[in-house]
Chains A and B, each alone.
Chain A
Amino acid sequence: MSETLEEQTFDLIPLLAILEEYKNQKGAIIPILQRTQEIYGYLPKPVLKEISKRLRIPISRIQGVATFYAQFHLKRRGRHLIRVCDGTACHVKGAMKTVDVIHEQLQTPPNGSSPDYKYSLEIVYCLGSCGLAPVVVVDDKVYGQTEPDKLVRQLKRLE
Chain B
Amino acid sequence: MIDKATITIDGQKIQARYGQTILQAAREHGIHIPVLCDHPALPPEGACRICLVEIERQRTLQPACTFPVSEGLVIHTHSPKVIEARKFSLELLISDHPLDCMTCEATGNCLLQDLAYEYGVTGDRYQGEKHHYPIDTSNPFIVVDRNKCILCRRCVRACAYINGVEAISVFYRGFNAYIGFGADSTMQDSPCEFCGSCVEVCPTGALWPKMAIGKGRPYQLKSVQTVCTYCGVGCQIELQVRNNRIVNVTGVENAPVNQGFTCVKGRFGNDFVHHEDRLLKPRLRKYLLEGGKREGKGRGEWVEVDWDTALDIVARKLLETRDKFGSDSVGLLTSAKCTNEENYLMNKLARQIIGTNNIDHCARLCHSSTVAGLAISFGSGAMSNSIEDVTQQAKAFFVIGSNTTEQHPVIGMKIRQAVKQRDAILIVADPRQIPLVDFATLHLQHKPGTDIALLNGLMHIILKNGWEDKAFIEERTEGFEEFKAVVEQYPPERVSEITGVPQELLLEAAQLMGQNKPMAVIWAMGITQHTTGVYNVFSLANLQMLLGNMGIPGGGVNPLRGQNNVQGACDMGGLPNVYPAYQPVTSEEAAHKFAQAWGAPMSTKIGMTVTEMIPAAKEGKIKALYIMAEDPMMSDPDTNHVRECLEACEFVVLQDIFYTETAPYADVLLPGVSFAEKTGTFTNTERRIQLVRQALQPLGEAQPDWQILCEVANRLLATSSSTSGRTIDLQAPYARWDYRHPKDIMDEINALAPSYAGVRYERLERGETFQWPVKDEHHPGTPILHVGKFARGLGKFAAVDHIPPAELPDTEYPMVLSTGRVLYHWHGGELSRRAQGLLEIYPKPLVEINPEDAQRLGLNGHRRVRVTSRRGSIEAEAWITDRVLPGMVYANFHFPEASANVLTHAALDPIAKIPEYKVCAVKVEAVE
> Which A residues fall within an 8 A CB radius of B?
45, 48-49, 52, 56, 58-64, 67-68
Contact with A along B148-169 (1 / 0, CB 8 A): 0000000000000000011111
**Could you say which residues of chain B place their CB within 8 Å of the CB of A63?**
169, 171, 180, 182-184
**Could you say which residues of chain A place their CB within 8 Å of the CB of B57?**
none
* Bound CA–CA A67/B180 (angstroms): 11
In this complex, what residue of B is CB-closest to A60?
A: B169
* Bound CA–CA A45/B189 (angstroms): 13
In this complex, what residue of B is CB-closest to A68?
A: B173
In this complex, what residue of A is CB-closest to B170?
A: A64
* Bound CA–CA A152/B62 (angstroms): 55
* Bound CA–CA A125/B170 (angstroms): 25
Report if A68-B183 is in contact (Cβ < 8 Å); known contacts: A58-B166, A58-B167, A60-B167: no
* Bound CA–CA A130/B169 (angstroms): 39
B183 touches A45 (CB 8 A): yes
**Could you say which residues of chain A place their CB within 8 Å of the CB of B171?**
63-64, 67-68
**Could you say which residues of chain A place their CB within 8 Å of the CB of B167?**
58, 60
Given A60-B167, A63-B169: 14 more A-B contacts, CB < 8 Å: A49-B183, A56-B438, A56-B439, A59-B183, A59-B191, A60-B166, A60-B181, A61-B169, A62-B183, A63-B180, A63-B182, A64-B180, A67-B184, A68-B171
The one of B172, B173, B182 that contacts A60, using a Cβ cutoff of 8 Å: B182
B515 at the A/B interface (Cβ < 8 Å)?
Answer: no
B586 at the A/B interface (Cβ < 8 Å)?
Answer: no
State the main secondary structure of chain A at its contact with B: helix
26 A-B pairs whose Cβ atoms sit less than 8 Å apart in the complex = A45-B183, A48-B183, A52-B183, A56-B438, A58-B166, A58-B167, A59-B182, A59-B190, A60-B166, A60-B167, A60-B169, A60-B180, A60-B181, A60-B183, A61-B166, A61-B169, A62-B183, A63-B182, A63-B184, A64-B169, A64-B171, A64-B180, A67-B172, A68-B171, A68-B172, A68-B173
CB distance from B425 to the nearest CB of A (A): 15
* Bound CA–CA A62/B181 (angstroms): 11
Residues of B in contact (CB 8 Å), total: 18
A58 touches B183 (CB 8 A): no
* Bound CA–CA A63/B166 (angstroms): 12
CB distance from A49 to the nearest CB of B (A): 6
**Could you say which residues of chain B place their CB within 8 Å of the CB of A61?**
166, 169
In this complex, what residue of A is CB-closest to B168?
A: A60
**Could you say which residues of chain B place their CB within 8 Å of the CB of A48?**
183
**Could you say which residues of chain A place their CB within 8 Å of the CB of B169?**
58, 60-61, 63-64
**Could you say which residues of chain A place their CB within 8 Å of the CB of B438?**
56
* Bound CA–CA A52/B182 (angstroms): 10
**Could you say which residues of chain B place their CB within 8 Å of the CB of A59?**
182-183, 190-191
B180 touches A58 (CB 8 A): no
In this complex, what residue of A is CB-closest to B178?
A: A67
**Could you say which residues of chain A place their CB within 8 Å of the CB of B168?**
60
> Which B residues fall within an 8 A CB radius of A?
165-173, 180-184, 190-191, 438-439
In this complex, what residue of A is CB-closest to B190?
A: A60
**Could you say which residues of chain A place their CB within 8 Å of the CB of B191?**
58-60
CB distance from A99 to the nearest CB of B (A): 21
**Could you say which residues of chain B place their CB within 8 Å of the CB of A60?**
166-169, 180-183, 190-191
* Bound CA–CA A137/B170 (angstroms): 32
In this complex, what residue of B is CB-closest to A74?
A: B184
* Bound CA–CA A61/B680 (angstroms): 44
CB distance from B181 to the nearest CB of A (A): 7
CB distance from A32 to the nearest CB of B (A): 16
**Could you say which residues of chain B place their CB within 8 Å of the CB of A45?**
183
CB distance from B925 to the nearest CB of A (A): 29
B165 touches A58 (CB 8 A): yes
CB distance from A133 to the nearest CB of B (A): 27
- With most chain B CB atoms within 10 A of its CB, the pick from A45, A56, A67 is A67
In this complex, what residue of A is CB-closest to B160?
A: A58
* Bound CA–CA A62/B190 (angstroms): 13
- With most chain B CB atoms within 10 A of its CB, the pick from A45, A59, A62 is A59
* Bound CA–CA A49/B191 (angstroms): 11
**Could you say which residues of chain A place their CB within 8 Å of the CB of B166?**
58, 60-61
* Bound CA–CA A61/B170 (angstroms): 8
**Could you say which residues of chain B place their CB within 8 Å of the CB of A68?**
171-173
**Could you say which residues of chain A place their CB within 8 Å of the CB of B180?**
60, 63-64
**Could you say which residues of chain B place their CB within 8 Å of the CB of A52?**
183
* Bound CA–CA A62/B183 (angstroms): 8
CB distance from B157 to the nearest CB of A (A): 12
* Bound CA–CA A68/B171 (angstroms): 6
**Could you say which residues of chain A place their CB within 8 Å of the CB of B184?**
63, 67
* Bound CA–CA A48/B183 (angstroms): 8
- With most chain B CB atoms within 10 A of its CB, the pick from A48, A49, A56, A63 is A63
- List the 6 shortest-distance A-B pairs measured between CB atoms, nearest first: A58-B166, A60-B169, A64-B169, A67-B171, A67-B172, A59-B183
**Could you say which residues of chain A place their CB within 8 Å of the CB of B439?**
56
CB distance from A81 to the nearest CB of B (A): 21
In this complex, what residue of A is CB-closest to B192?
A: A60
* Bound CA–CA A39/B170 (angstroms): 26
CB distance from A94 to the nearest CB of B (A): 28
**Could you say which residues of chain A place their CB within 8 Å of the CB of B165?**
58
CB distance from B462 to the nearest CB of A (A): 28
**Could you say which residues of chain A place their CB within 8 Å of the CB of B172?**
67-68
**Could you say which residues of chain A place their CB within 8 Å of the CB of B183?**
45, 48-49, 52, 59-60, 62-63
CB distance from A78 to the nearest CB of B (A): 22
CB distance from B176 to the nearest CB of A (A): 9
**Could you say which residues of chain B place their CB within 8 Å of the CB of A56?**
438-439
* Bound CA–CA A67/B170 (angstroms): 9
CB distance from B144 to the nearest CB of A (A): 14
* Bound CA–CA A48/B169 (angstroms): 15
* Bound CA–CA A42/B57 (angstroms): 50
In this complex, what residue of B is CB-closest to A66?
A: B171
* Bound CA–CA A58/B173 (angstroms): 19
* Bound CA–CA A61/B191 (angstroms): 12
* Bound CA–CA A56/B183 (angstroms): 14
**Could you say which residues of chain A place their CB within 8 Å of the CB of B173?**
67-68
* Bound CA–CA A45/B184 (angstroms): 10
* Bound CA–CA A45/B182 (angstroms): 11
**Could you say which residues of chain B place their CB within 8 Å of the CB of A62?**
183
**Could you say which residues of chain B place their CB within 8 Å of the CB of A67?**
171-173, 184
CB distance from B152 to the nearest CB of A (A): 16
In this complex, what residue of A is CB-closest to B439?
A: A56
CB distance from B13 to the nearest CB of A (A): 43
**Could you say which residues of chain A place their CB within 8 Å of the CB of B182?**
59-60, 63
CB distance from B10 to the nearest CB of A (A): 39
- With most chain B CB atoms within 10 A of its CB, the pick from A58, A60, A61, A62 is A60
* Bound CA–CA A58/B191 (angstroms): 8
In this complex, what residue of A is CB-closest to B176?
A: A67
* Bound CA–CA A105/B169 (angstroms): 40
* Bound CA–CA A62/B166 (angstroms): 11
* Bound CA–CA A56/B168 (angstroms): 15
* Bound CA–CA A62/B184 (angstroms): 10
In this complex, what residue of A is CB-closest to B172?
A: A67
CB distance from A22 to the nearest CB of B (A): 19
* Bound CA–CA A68/B170 (angstroms): 9
In this complex, what residue of B is CB-closest to A49?
A: B183
* Bound CA–CA A67/B439 (angstroms): 26
* Bound CA–CA A48/B171 (angstroms): 14
* Bound CA–CA A48/B182 (angstroms): 11
* Bound CA–CA A16/B183 (angstroms): 20
**Could you say which residues of chain B place their CB within 8 Å of the CB of A58?**
165-167, 169, 191
CB distance from B80 to the nearest CB of A (A): 37
* Bound CA–CA A59/B187 (angstroms): 13
- With most chain A CB atoms within 10 A of its CB, the pick from B169, B172, B439 is B169
* Bound CA–CA A47/B614 (angstroms): 54
CB distance from B464 to the nearest CB of A (A): 30
In this complex, what residue of B is CB-closest to A65?
A: B169
CB distance from B441 to the nearest CB of A (A): 11
* Bound CA–CA A60/B165 (angstroms): 9
* Bound CA–CA A63/B183 (angstroms): 6
